[in-house]
A = this chain, B = another copy of it.
Amino acid sequence: MLIFDHSRDERSNKAQMPAGEADLSDLPGDRRRSSSTGLPQASEMDVVRHYTRLSQKNFAIDTHFYPLGSCTMKYNPRGSNEAAMLPGFLGRHPETPAAYSQGILSVLWDLQEMLADICGMHAVSLAPAAGAQGEYAGVAMIRSYHQAHGNHDRDEIIVPDSAHGTNPATASMGGFRTVEIQTKPDGDIDLDSLDEALSERTAGLMITNPSTLGLFERGIKEIADKVHDAGGLLYYDGANLNAILGKVRPGEMGFDVMHFNLHKTFSTPHGGGGPGAGSVGLSERLVPFAPVPLVAQAENGSYYLQYEQQRPDTIGRMTAFPANVGVLLRAYAYLRMVGREGLERIAEHAVLNSNYLLERLRRYYKVAYPDRRAMHEFILTLEDLAKSDAHVSAMDVAKRMLDFGMHAPTAYFPLSVPECFLVEPTESEAKETLDQFVAVLADIRNEAESDPEIPKNAPYSLPVKRLDDVRAAKELDLTYTGEPKAAG
């Protein structure tokens, strides 16, 4: 049932109807809307009931194990939410003068400082709204840097074949051509392939470390040297930072610029797709180009925001208003609760959970990089099962898991490993839960071999059975126009 089905003409929710006069007589008649907006007119109770029931149809961290690789689905502390929803923060208009905003600005300043420390870089800008926008800020700074140095021909960004889609997409948005390099069978970057790719057109290299294969790139120092020698800069995709918090710092690995995914590493949370925050860390040479605003401290110790005026070489603004402040507040709250020592413990237990699962699952599934130590996540490949007579794909196994009350791992990413699962348990999950997960995956392996139709038609116990994606794209029913969806 759609919310529109609860709607009736004339129905209205009086408690949400402002009482004042609504005199629109000064608006010219030809500007006045006469068509319906189509917004539903339902009772407040029916709205609450509808969305409460809808929400129950989701799997979420608060209800299920959710080992989605590359996404760091860890516990989202309710304390962070409460702290971020304090009226003093929520009710502040972004145009409020700094003199009346020292509370929030002090939080943002502290966060900048802490993040800079964590990434081992010179400065941090909190401006970007998500990881991908952080990447955009990063490549824009790389571009500005080269231009400032008179290098107008550096128009290539190198990315490994295992890179997340946002990396090449961002390179394109930044006006760069993407050059893809290969991964060796052991999961490290193929240095020959890198050598080949590097040239005087190289603007930079974007990588994730640990990589999206869940492996620590052992040649990182060599890679950094090579790129720097070739005149390029190194971009660090911080999506996997959880694995190395307090253990290794991107700055110390040789990276020049990076983004954090605060909604992953600092658990702000995911919200069914967002919002996030993609704060960027910068080495000293990139600081002039940082996206604005930056929080700065005046001589008298008070905080204020710096914009284009104070930072003429900035790549500019990422959003019309300062940043996803509510997300930053949650990240700050989380970081303060976790603390210095806690950061290392996070990395350690995330890696421990991942290696434990890997070890236990080896018996049932093929590990993509069996001889490597996994970091916070690892890859299984189900190619054998998919190519067997059973023809059970990673998708089938993923769907079947849902019936057992487990969210599936990321499937079919990275693209470089066929029929893969990228499994990231995070440090939040107890051993009992991991053991249950192993049991479920073992059972499904059994089913797949003995009765493949079971996984192939899964799921059975969810609000819907398997959905028809092809029909979705063909009919492209993107908005409700009053028609029920006919079967068949």
Contacts and interface: CB of A to CB of B under 8 A. Distances in A.
Interface of A: 6, 8, 11, 15, 43-46, 48-49, 52-53, 56, 61-64, 75, 77-79, 337, 428-430, 432-433
Contacts of A428: 43, 45
B63 A432 contact: no
Given A53-B63, A63-B52, A77 B337 contact: no
A254 B428 CA distance: 63
Contacts of A63: 49, 52-53, 56
A15 B432 contact: no
Q: Which of A45, A53, A430 has the most C-beta atoms of chain B within 10 angstroms of its own C-beta?
A: A45
Contact of A77 (B8, B44, B56, B62): B44
B45 A15 contact: no
A446 to B, nearest CB: 23
Nearest to A45: B75
A126 B462 CA distance: 47
Contacts of A6: 430, 432
Nearest to A55: B56
B45 A61 contact: yes
B61 A430 contact: no
Nearest to A431: B8
B432 A44 contact: no
Q: Which 8 A-B pairs have the closest CB atoms?
A: A45-B75, A52-B62, A45-B428, A53-B63, A15-B337, A48-B62, A56-B56, A52-B63
Given A6-B432, A56-B56, A63-B53, A78 B43 contact: no
Given A6-B430, A15-B77, A62 B49 contact: yes
Nearest to A86: B87
Nearest to A52: B62
Given A6-B430, A430-B46, A432-B6, A15 B79 contact: yes
Given A6-B430, A43-B428, A56-B56, 17 more contacts: A6-B432, A11-B430, A15-B79, A15-B337, A43-B75, A44-B77, A44-B78, A45-B61, A45-B75, A45-B428, A46-B430, A48-B78, A49-B61, A49-B63, A49-B64, A52-B63, A53-B63
A63 B51 CA distance: 9
A8 to B, nearest CB: 8
A57 to B, nearest CB: 10
Contacts of A46: 430, 433
13 contacts: A6-B430, A8-B430, A15-B79, A15-B337, A43-B428, A44-B75, A45-B61, A45-B428, A45-B429, A48-B62, A49-B63, A49-B64, A53-B63
Contacts of A433: 46
A465 B79 CA distance: 37
A64 B64 CA distance: 23
Contacts of A52: 62-63
A86 B88 CA distance: 13
